Structure 1
Amino acid sequence: MLGAIIGDIVGSRFEAGPPPQPGFKLFTPECCFTDDTVCTVAIADAILKHRDYAESLVDWCRRYNNRGFGGLFYQWFMGNDHTPYGSYGNGSAMRVSSVGWLFNDIDTVMEEARRSAAVSHSHEEGIKGAQCTATLIYWLRTVRVTKERLKHSVEQKFGYEIPSLKDVMRIGSLGHFDGTCQETVPAAIRCFLESDSFEDAIRKAVLADGDTDTKAAIAGSIAEAYYEVPDEIVNSAFEYLPHDMLDVVNEFCDCVIGGMK
């Protein structure tokens, strides 16, 4: 969950801004938390407090409704009808990371990822993106596997074709905004696979341009389960969060590792 929040904040200033350049500063005054963090916190809060996923999403998203939400999702949480609307956008994958940490068998991880997505993103691709992201996190935190084996397992289980890093960067350089699960999740996975640290995974995802905050949120959520996240990066990200979000993050950390990272 921390990886998703960090990736979101770091990538936030590039989504509608100038293309990122190598060596960019991770945190600047232009950074902020976006809808990705709001939804990530909402899913974690639902699990920790045994709330309905839709109820928690509506609560948190209405609380922070000016954080760059997509139009259909905004209508979903601001309106009175919370029927799933068949989305396959990458929002289901960027918000799911806590599922991979807070459940301790793969069948439950898959089912809870499905449930967390299906309240809004009920298209099979929206559900698959969430399940793949949560499963990767679960695998990486419970079983040490090689990255090549991980790539093979993802392709076999979920049917994704993981693009090369060159292709990920090329597509982003063309100005393509990759807002679907079927584009963003494989690209984020490749950024993780080619990384040598948590920070490097975030940087590669941001440099791929396009939907920078969400791509970095997904890559960061996966990388968190594999690499140590430096305290200085965590502390810098926390400076952007309001107290109610920090309360949820703290409770999450207490549940997962017995204290704040």
Structure 2
Amino acid sequence: MLGAIAGDIIESIHEFGPPAVPGTPLIKPHSHYTDDTVLTVATARCLLDGVDYATAYREAYQANRDQSWGLQFMQWGDDPDRGPYNSFGNGSAMRVSPIGFWTRSLEDALRDAERSAAVTHDHPEGIRGAQATAHAIVLARTGASGEVILEAVREHHGYALDEPIPVIQRTSRYNEICQGTVPPAIRIACHASSFEEVMQVWIGLDANTDTLACIAGGIAEARFGVPAWIREAAMQGLEPEQVALVERFYKEAGNRPN
């Protein structure tokens, strides 16, 4: 989960380009969290306290209205009677990482990923993006290699995941849909050899960097862990109540029975 938050913070200042030049520091003084972090923390709250996803997401939106929310999500967040709106935007995938770290079986992860997505992103592509991301995290937590993760996601979720990394780097553009962002995020997270490498790839792209790095960051955390200096910087960038919830999440997730 903190890997997703760190990815969001690291890439927040690069979201609308231009691509960062080689050697650019991953975190700068004006790096900040976005709506991606707000909803990731809200997902963790659901798992910790049993709050339903729709309620938690609406409350998170209402408490953080100054973030750059999508129009349809804002309309949904302002109307407590409104149901899901058939979205296949990448919001379902960027907020799902806590589920991959919390659940104790792949079956549970896929079920909860669908539930978290379906309150807004009930289009099959919106659900697929969330489930594929959670699936990758669960496998990475068990020590699966990048290639094993890629093959499992290909088989179970139907993403191709074969595009060469240089092609992704050359052709990536701003994209807000699951089918345009989840595959490259998983591909990069499974190809890289460190958390830092994953983040370095994204800051050099002309793309929706914060959400790509948020999706990839959760997988990269499960594969490599989050380096101490990035963990510390990310936590310093959060509000006190967010820090408390993140710390509680890791404590309780680690103590859950298998």
TM-score normalised by L of structure 2: 0.95
State the match for 2:12 in structure 1. 12
Whether the aligned pair in 1 keeps the contact of 2:92 and 2:130 (CA below 8 Å) is yes
Alignment-mate amino acid for residue 138 of structure 2: Y
Note the 1:106-255 alignment, pairs <5 A.
106-142=106-142, 144-162=143-161, 163-172=163-172, 176-255=173-252
Alignment-mate amino acid for residue 149 of structure 2: L
Q: Tell me how far 1:228 sits from its aligned partner.
A: 2.5
Whether the aligned pair in 1 keeps the contact of 2:17 and 2:206 (CA below 8 Å) is no
Q: Which runs of 5+ in 1 are unaligned?
A: none
State the match for 2:63 in structure 1. 63
Alpha-carbon separation, structure 2, partners of 1:193 and 1:31 = 25
- SS of the residue 1:225 aligns to: helix
Whether the aligned pair in 2 keeps the contact of 1:90 and 1:185 (CA below 8 Å) is yes
Alpha-carbon separation, structure 2, partners of 1:115 and 1:192 = 24
Alignment-mate amino acid for residue 205 of structure 1: W
Alignment-mate amino acid for residue 145 of structure 2: T
- SS of the residue 1:226 aligns to: helix
Q: How many residues are aligned here? A: 254
Alignment-mate amino acid for residue 87 of structure 2: S
Alpha-carbon separation, structure 2, partners of 1:171 and 1:83 = 35
State the match for 1:86 in structure 2. 86
Alignment-mate amino acid for residue 236 of structure 2: E
Whether the aligned pair in 2 keeps the contact of 1:97 and 1:221 (CA below 8 Å) is yes
TM-score normalised by L of structure 1: 0.94
Alpha-carbon separation, structure 2, partners of 1:218 and 1:60 = 19
Q: Tell me how far 1:237 sits from its aligned partner.
A: 0.9
Whether the aligned pair in 1 keeps the contact of 2:11 and 2:210 (CA below 8 Å) is yes
Q: Tell me how far 1:256 sits from its aligned partner.
A: 2.5
Q: Tell me how far 1:160 sits from its aligned partner.
A: 0.2
Comparing 60-69 with 112-121, which one deviates more in the overlay?
A: 60-69
Q: Tell me how far 1:104 sits from its aligned partner.
A: 0.5
Alignment-mate amino acid for residue 5 of structure 1: I
Alignment-mate amino acid for residue 150 of structure 2: K
Alignment-mate amino acid for residue 158 of structure 1: H
Alpha-carbon separation, structure 2, partners of 1:100 and 1:82 = 27
Alignment-mate amino acid for residue 208 of structure 1: L
Note the 1:72-83 alignment, pairs <5 A.
72-83=72-83
Alpha-carbon separation, structure 2, partners of 1:219 and 1:155 = 16
Q: Tell me how far 1:218 sits from its aligned partner.
A: 0.7
Note the 1:96-107 alignment, pairs <5 A.
96-107=96-107
Alpha-carbon separation, structure 2, partners of 1:19 and 1:66 = 25
Q: Tell me how far 1:89 sits from its aligned partner.
A: 0.5
Deviation beyond 4 Å, 4+ runs, structure 1: none
- SS of the residue 1:65 aligns to: coil
Q: Deviations over 1:92-143 (max 9, x none)?
A: 000000101111011111110000000000000000000000111111112x
Whether the aligned pair in 1 keeps the contact of 2:5 and 2:234 (CA below 8 Å) is yes
Q: Tell me how far 1:29 sits from its aligned partner.
A: 2.3
Q: Tell me how far 1:17 sits from its aligned partner.
A: 4.2
